[in-house]
């Protein structure tokens, strides 16, 4: 079945450091890909998405490119802030799976001042 594998954490960084969180997927057909973020004490929020190959999703300085050839959707940010401390989840959904939204295990990111 469709699944997502993301890099294990936790990840601890200093402010202004570069962040990458790896995500790879297995799916039938061409799924839509998402990154969700969960800030401490809050619910899941959509951070960015991409719906077809080579699309780049971006939001709040974060970017991720849908790479069909490597079945990947890695999340990047060039200069993190303390406020980026959160748990990040990679997810996918596909029409062949009735748009069931499947999540990775999550990566906890802590940014230190």
Partner 1 sequence: EAGVAQSPRYKIIEKRQSVAFWCNPISGHATLYWYQQILGQGPKLLIQFQNNGVVDDSQLPKDRFSAERLKGVDSTLKIQPAKLEDSAVYLCASSLDQGEAFFGQGTRLTVV
Contact residues toward partner 1 (CB under 8 A) are 32, 34, 36, 42-46, 49, 51, 89, 92-94, 98-106
Nearest residue (CB) to partner 1, 76 versus 103: 103
CA–CA gap between residue 106 and residue 93 (Å, rounded):
16
Q: Which CB atom, from 13 or from 101, has the smaller least distance to partner 1?
A: 101
Task: Give least dist CB 23 to partner 1, A.
Answer: 12
Q: How buried is 9 (Cβ within 10 angstroms: 0-12 exposed, 13-18 middle, 19+ buried)?
A: middle
Q: How far is the CB of 106 from partner 1 (least distance, A)?
A: 5
Min CB(35)–partner 1 separation in Å? 12
Helix (H, G, I), strand (E, B) or coil at 18: coil
Cα–Cα distance, 4 to 36 (Å, whole number): 13
């Amino acid at each position: 079945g469709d699944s997502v594998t993301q890099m294990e954490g936790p990840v601890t960084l200093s402010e202004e450091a570069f962040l990458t969180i790896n995500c790879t997927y297995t799916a039938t057909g061409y799924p839509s890909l998402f990154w969700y973020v969960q800030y401490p004490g809050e619910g899941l929020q959509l951070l960015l998405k991409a719906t077809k190959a080579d699309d780049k999703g971006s939001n709040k300085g974060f970017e991720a490119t849908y790479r069909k050839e490597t079945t990947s959707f890695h999340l990047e940010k060039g200069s993190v802030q303390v406020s980026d401390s959160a748990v990040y989840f990679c997810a996918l959904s596909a029409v062949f799976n009735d748009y069931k939204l499947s999540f990775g295990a999550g990566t906890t990111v802590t940014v230190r001042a």
